[in-house]
Chains A and B, each alone.
Chain A
Amino acid sequence: QKEVEQNSGPLSVPEGAIASLNCTYSDRGSQSFFWYRQYSGKSPELIMSIYSNGDKEDGRFTAQLNKASQYVFLLIRDSQPSDSATYLCAVEGSSNYQLIWGAGTKLIIKP
């Protein structure tokens, strides 16, 4: 059973600080990794994708991937109240290329 694990939270971070979200996965053959943001009552929205070890930056967001240790992080710099949402980690399965979803981490940015 391929799995993706996330801390459910809630993770509370002061406004302006760095929010760090982590995700571990079990499928060693996975090559594609995604972070989605989901606001309450809305559908998930893709915010970051990463395929190679190391860091990938996009504005205030940085994704970090370590395939040897099987984890992927999402860092949000200068956190804003509008970043308050649930963040879902998704990993593309190596056998059928379908996404395996984590349970999500609820992030709360406190003004």
Chain B
Amino acid sequence: SAVISQKPSRDICQRGTSLTIQCQVDSQVTMMFWYRQQPGQSLTLIATANQGSEATYESGFVIDKFPISRPNLTFSTLTVSNMSPEDSSIYLCSVSLAVRGGYTFGSGTRLTVV
């Protein structure tokens, strides 16, 4: 399985600012996913990050709010822009190493917007 380094692990940010979350994988992967998890809730997929093309966003999430970069097959960033308290959540990156192989997750970023 892959080892994923995600940072920062947590941050407290002022409303109106932006935070960029980084995800580094120890092997090349085709698909990387960004999730959000509210306290006590399940996982909500924000977008799929594709190397060499635009990210694919799920309903309710837009590129202006959550821009994603995927410069190579081992790295991706998610930016949470113009933050409001409603953006307070845990953000997780994950990768799929193979079809039917399930996903591996980074350790998560706990974001609090004040």
How far is B100's CA from A98's CA once the two chains are assembled, in angstroms?
Answer: 9
Residue A80 lies at the interface, judged by CB distance under 8 Å to chain B: no
Within 8 A of B (CB), among A24-42: 31-32, 34, 42
Chain B residues lying within 8 Å of A49, measured Cβ to Cβ, are: 100-102
Q: Is B42 an interface residue (CB 8 A)?
A: yes
Q: Does B66 contact A (CB under 8 A)?
A: no
Residue pairs across A and B with CB atoms within 8 Å: the count is: 42
- Chain B positions 59 through 82: 1 when the CB is less than 8 Å from some CB of chain A, otherwise 0: 000000000000000000000000
CB distance from B24 to the nearest CB of A (A): 15
Q: How many chain A residues touch B (Cβ–Cβ < 8 Å)? A: 20
Asked if B48 contacts A104 (CB within 8 A), the reply is no
B interface, size bucket: 10 to 19
Question: A102 contacts which chain B residues (CB < 8 A)?
Answer: 42
B112 part of interface (Cβ distance < 8 Å): no
Within 8 Å of chain A (Cβ to Cβ): is B105? yes
**What is the CB-to-nearest-CB distance from A3 to chain B, in angstroms, rounded to a whole number?**
12
Known: A98-B48, A104-B42. A46 touches B100 (CB 8 A): no
CA distance A34 to B99 in the complex (A): 13
Contacts of B99 in A (CB 8 A): 97
B100 touches A92 (CB 8 A): yes
8 tightest A-B contacts by CB? A43-B105, A32-B100, A103-B42, A34-B102, A43-B108, A101-B43, A46-B102, A101-B42
